[in-house]
Amino acid sequence: MSEIKKCLFPAAGYGTRFLPATKAIPKEMLPVLTKPLLQYGVEEAIEAGLNTMAIVTGRGKRAIEDHFDISYELEHQIKGTAKEEYLTQIRRVINACTFSYTRQIEMKGLGHAILTGETLIGHEPFAVILADDLCDNENDGVLLQMVKLYEEYKCSIVAVEEIPPQDSNKYGVIAGEFLNNNIVRVSDMVEKPEPKDAPSNLAIIGRYILTPDIFDILRSTKPGKGGEIQITDALLQQAKEGKVVAYKFKGKRFDCGSVDGFVEATNYFYKQSEN
């Protein structure tokens, strides 16, 4: 049994790239086929053996809480009909874990959102999933791969993938020493560098395992890129002590924070549903 039981989902952002769709609906609730992005993330966490979902929400995000709850009226209406099976999967999710919520009052960056979640996490290593990075793999999911790796390294882990050099200013970018084909001991990381300043072509995607000392580091992390408190900057402090590993995960990842990535994910999962 892994010691990682809790997964933090920062879900307070505005989703401006999907306006007007996200005016009244949280971006985490946008569906790829029939399932909201956040549910994919929660299912990945459950598969990884986690049972406590800690969601950092904000104003206008109540639909998230309602989604992971019973809808008495709806369930009453369709009880005993063929339509009931449409609820099987979400019922399974709700039964497999608990959900707790806290609100981020001001949007001061991903690092700040993670620090806001401290009250739900406490003092133990935990996972972070950014639901708009939608991941899929035939075998072990990306988070399960990382949880297994944690057993070996017992330090913070970031999932990375190779990106075209011109995209470096969309991601945290890492550098370090390869321990094998897929694992790098991180020595440097930069948030959204211009291509000429990028230390490599390995970009962090929205899957992290963090050790709890990250909270104290975040408390003293100054605003960085974009005037926001960046998790990348806090992780760099751990990396300087050799306590961050980057993992080139197995599987596919879709940037569902962009319209292109969202459409790509929709086509991919639609094709899969036909098989």
Choice between 58 and 90, CB closer to ligand G1P: 58
Choice between 53 and 231, CB closer to ligand G1P: 231
Residues that bind ligand G1P in the complex, under the rule CB under 6 A? 110, 130, 133, 171-172, 191, 203-206, 230, 232, 257
Choice between 78 and 167, CB closer to ligand G1P: 167
Burial 181-217 (b: 16+ CB within 10 A, else e): eebbbbeebbbbbeeeebbbbbbbbbbbbbbebbbeb
Give me the least distance between CB of 57 and ligand G1P, in Å please: 16
- Beta strand 52-57 with 98-103 is parallel
What single DSSP character describes residue 221? P
Cα–Cα dist 26/38, whole Å: 10
Beta carbons of 40 and 131 less than 8 angstroms apart: yes
Give me the least distance between CB of 132 and ligand G1P, in Å please: 7
Choice between 43 and 133, CB closer to ligand G1P: 133
Give me the least distance between CB of 135 and ligand G1P, in Å please: 11
Query: Closest Cα partner for 59 from 101, 103, 111?
Result: 103
Find residue 134's DSSP bridge partners: 254
Residue with nearest beta carbon to ligand G1P: 172
Cα–Cα dist 28/75, whole Å: 23
Choice between 54 and 198, CB closer to ligand G1P: 198
